[in-house]
Amino acid sequence: MDHRGVPLVALDMHPIIDLHVDGAGEVDPNSDLVKGHGGALRHEKMVENVAEKFIVVANDTKLFTRIRWKWFSNAC
């Protein structure tokens, strides 16, 4: 259990989960978004793929007039 009382289990013990909630890195006015490319990307994608529902949340600090190029500079 984590400090909020939420049980923590291995993904292989629960191959289908009801809900996956994660935060956005950046969001533009069209609601296009970038999740980011941190070290947990592989794990996040695995959880996203087995979730019945996937919700991305963001506050106003994540809103930009356009997605910044820095997210893509290392992708090419």
Catalytic residue annotation: 44
**pLDDT tens, 10-49?**
888 888 999 999 999 899 999 999 887 666 778 888 889 9
Q: Is the pTM of this model over 0.85?
A: no
Domain of 50, in residue numbers: 11-67
What residue type is 43 in one-letter code?
Answer: H
Which structure tokens are listed for 67?
């997605």
**What is the Cα Rg of the chain in Å?**
15
Specify the number of domains making up the chain. Answer: 1
- 50, part of any domain: yes
Q: Residue 35: which residues within 8 A CB-CB, separation 6 or more? A: 22, 24, 25, 41, 44, 56
**Higher-pLDDT residue of 60, 8:** 60
CATH number at residue 38: 3.40.50.1360
Distances (CA, A) of 75 to 48, 69, 70: 21, 10, 10
pLDDT value of residue 10? 86
- 73, part of any domain: no
Backbone angles phi, psi at 54, to 5 degrees: -130, 120
